[in-house]
Amino acid sequence: GAPFVQWRSSRGVEVVGADIQASPIFPVVDSVDDMYEVLQWMITGGADGKGKEIWLSARKLSADQISAHANLTRLFRQRNDFLKANLEFLAWNYEKSVFYQLDLNDVASRFVTMGIKKPELLPQQSGAMTRIRNYMVRSRIDSMSGRDGSREEMAAFELLRDEILSELKGRRPHPRLNVYSDQIVWGRSPVRIDLAGGWTDTPPYSLYTGGSVVNMAIELNGQQPLQVYVKPSSDYRIVLRSIDLGASEIVEDFESLSCYHTVGSPFSIPKAALTLAGFAPRTSSDTLTEFLHDFGSGIEITLLSAIPAGSGLGTSSILAATVLGALSEFCGIGWDEGEISHRTLALEQLLTTGGGWQDQYGGVLGGVKLLRTEEGITQRPSVSWLPSRIFTSTEFKPCHLLYYTGLTRTAKGILAEIVRGMFLNSNSHLSILSEMRAHSLATAEAIQRNDFHLYGRMIAKTWSQNKRLDSGTEPPAVADIVGRVSDLTLGYKLPGAGGGGYLYMVAKEPQAAARIRSILTECPPNSRARFVEMTLSDTGFQVSRS
């Protein structure tokens, strides 16, 4: 690590010139033992010894001379042969080697270019996360070779889903009617804005290292925008309605209830939630009508999501948690906020949408908080609530702006691509995620210190990290919006995966906030764009009955 001139001087070596490439310092020695003696002296320096004696007496070459006389083609071929043999052996000896800790995207590329046979499928007794990586590297090798790797990639996601759901095995609830025949259970929740650490809550990364996020629960225009109504019915069937979508569906058998994988279905969430709440056949001959008769009534579930789809505010996850919470009250199950949020993670695996735990905990639990988990399949965050002065004081409250851009972008495709990078130990993904975890703690500290200007800069850094993780996070239409007002902000970001939905801005001061409102109101980017009033929610999820 020292400059060559300094190295030379510290060892008393007389060499003409300061260019290491042209200086004759590399000795030609007679044995490996002599080589190690010289290397020991060259590295450590110190008193005269055998290494220096050998170096002084030996014929010495410069790096330029070595390059001129070396057979670089043969050397490159030899090193490739060594690398190929090493990779083959590391893959075979995976239980005791670092093979599945390597950057598997790079490994797959080398397997293809070197013509190495892809690793064998691992036995079921191997660890689940190792098997998942095995599926993914095999899939990647197939894709790079021009073959279809989708089947093995799907197997990796299915195994991850099975591992997350396995914790619920043997814990099937036994629902019972817990209301009077004329009562309605009303569940409602705020949404959330992710402030720092987003993506670190997402499996498999959170399972490897634990996640760390800072977020806050917010109400929109003075209301909790996600609402669920559950009431008993004299007809032994399940009626599902969506006020905002203007849709309805009647479910009269378990087969229809289990069809929650249907892409685009407006009722996938309540169907999966009912399944998790114990509405499933007790025997092979059990019918839904018989089950509801024994339960005591039919069920009517009405959903209201007063937010556009693709908003980035964690809508689908928090709506799922709200349905589960309302069903828990209706069916006398007794889940607390932690269990509701944990089962939401399982619900999203049932829907195959994936996702982490940040959204549901961000909405179900009120206020501003730092959420952290440890590594492992069980992801139950510890919660550290943070002070709210930065968001609620008369000095700073006007500086927090929420603007609906009129643009939407669903997170499923983005999620799959980033999760794929997590599975493959992609250095580019893992290094950014590690930065994000550390940044969440720094953001929490800024909030603890009530340092408004530092907090604003932290939001700017969060957005920069998000864009590095996914280059499509800020499309041109969004860049055009923020370009008109960015000089008036300390920081801004699109909540969630980005790309559209709501834009959260931290203005430099109240006057700057007023100027931002004026600019974007007078000349909106589209007919749907508008400001929405946001307030910090202290309550989180609430449930009551008539």
Q: What CATH number does residue 513 fall under?
A: 3.30.70.890
Length reported for the chain: 546
Q: What is the mean pLDDT of residues 344-357?
A: 87
pLDDT at residue number 264: 67
Q: Same domain, yes or no, for 106 and 221?
A: no
Task: Give the number of other CB atoms < 10 A from CB of residue 478.
Answer: 21
- Average pLDDT, whole number, for the chain? 91
**Both structure tokens of 15:** 């060499």
In this structure, are residues 330 and 347 in contact, taking their beta carbons and an 8 Å threshold? no
Check whether 152 has a pLDDT greater than 90. Answer: yes
Confidence at 410, pLDDT banded by 50, 70, 90: low
Cα four-point dihedral sign 545, 320, 273, 127: negative
Upper half-sphere CA count for residue 208 (Cβ side, 13 Å): 20
Check whether 17 has a pLDDT greater than 70. Answer: no
Closest Cα to residue 546, out of 176, 177, 181, 175?
A: 181
DSSP labels for 139-155?
HHHHHHTTS--HHHHHH
Confidence at 534, pLDDT banded by 50, 70, 90: very high
DSSP letter for 117, please. P
174 part of a folded domain: no
pLDDT at residue number 16: 63
- Reduced to 3 states (helix: H, G, I; strand: E, B; else coil), residue 14 is coil
**Both structure tokens of 434:** 């590690």
Stretch among 144-158, 281-295, 343-357, 430-444 having the lowest mean pLDDT: 343-357
pLDDT at residue number 411: 55
Check whether 231 has a pLDDT greater than 70. Answer: yes
pLDDT at residue number 418: 86
171 part of a folded domain: no
Task: Give the number of other CB atoms < 10 A from CB of residue 65.
Answer: 14
Closest Cα to residue 508, out of 483, 485, 535?
A: 485
Check whether 196 has a pLDDT greater than 70. Answer: yes
Q: How far is Cα 234 from Cα 254, in angstroms, rounded to an integer? A: 19
453 part of a folded domain: yes
Confidence at 449, pLDDT banded by 50, 70, 90: very high
Q: How far is Cα 400 from Cα 534, in angstroms, rounded to an integer? A: 8
Number of helices (H), then strands (E), belonging to the chain: the values are 21, 17
Q: Same domain, yes or no, for 482 and 429?
A: yes
487 part of a folded domain: yes
Each residue of 38-56: pLDDT tens digit? 888 878 766 567 888 888 8
179 part of a folded domain: no
Stretch among 116-120, 138-142, 162-166 having the lowest mean pLDDT: 162-166
Q: How many domains does the chain have?
A: 4
Confidence at 185, pLDDT banded by 50, 70, 90: very high
Q: Same domain, yes or no, for 518 and 371?
A: no
491 part of a folded domain: yes
Instruction: Please state, for a pLDDT cut of 90, what percent of the chain lies above it.
Output: 71
Give φ, ψ of 12 to 5 degrees.
65, 35
Give φ, ψ of 132 to 5 degrees.
-60, -45
Q: How far is Cα 71 from Cα 287, in angstroms, rounded to an integer? A: 77
- Reduced to 3 states (helix: H, G, I; strand: E, B; else coil), residue 496 is coil
Q: Same domain, yes or no, for 365 and 396?
A: no
Cα four-point dihedral sign 384, 365, 458, 453: negative
Q: Same domain, yes or no, for 17 and 114?
A: no
Q: Same domain, yes or no, for 373 and 321?
A: yes
Q: Same domain, yes or no, for 486 and 425?
A: yes
More confident residue, 16 or 511: 511
Q: Same domain, yes or no, for 311 and 191?
A: yes
Stretch among 65-74, 357-366, 397-406 having the lowest mean pLDDT: 65-74
Q: Same domain, yes or no, for 438 and 473?
A: yes
Confidence at 3, pLDDT banded by 50, 70, 90: confident
Domain boundary, last residue among 113, 136, 166: 166
More confident residue, 408 or 285: 285
Cα four-point dihedral sign 251, 255, 258, 261: negative
Q: Same domain, yes or no, for 349 and 478?
A: no
Q: Same domain, yes or no, for 150 and 261?
A: no
pLDDT at residue number 413: 60
Residue 539 CB burial class (10 angstroms; 0-12, 13-18, ≥19): middle
238 part of a folded domain: yes
Q: Same domain, yes or no, for 376 and 248?
A: yes
Residue 209 CB burial class (10 angstroms; 0-12, 13-18, ≥19): middle
Task: Return the bridge partners of 401, or none.
Answer: 505
Q: What is the mean pLDDT of residues 226-251?
A: 96
Residue 286, domain CATH? 3.30.230.10
Give φ, ψ of 292 to 5 degrees.
-70, -30
Q: What is the mean pLDDT of residues 8-25?
A: 73
More confident residue, 15 or 441: 441
301 part of a folded domain: yes
Confidence at 412, pLDDT banded by 50, 70, 90: low
Q: How far is Cα 10 from Cα 41, in angstroms, rounded to an integer? A: 12
pLDDT at residue number 213: 98
Nearest 10 degrees: CA dihedral of 349, 315, 392, 380?
-10
DSSP letter for 267, please. T
Upper half-sphere CA count for residue 235 (Cβ side, 13 Å): 7
Domain boundary, last residue among 25, 54, 69: 69
Domain limits for position 54? 4-69
Give φ, ψ of 260 to 5 degrees.
-95, 5
Domain boundary, last residue among 14, 47, 69: 69
DSSP letter for 296, please. T
Task: Give the number of other CB atoms < 10 A from CB of residue 45.
Answer: 15
Degrees, nearest 5: CA angle 429-354-137: 50
Q: What is the mean pLDDT of residues 135-151?
A: 95
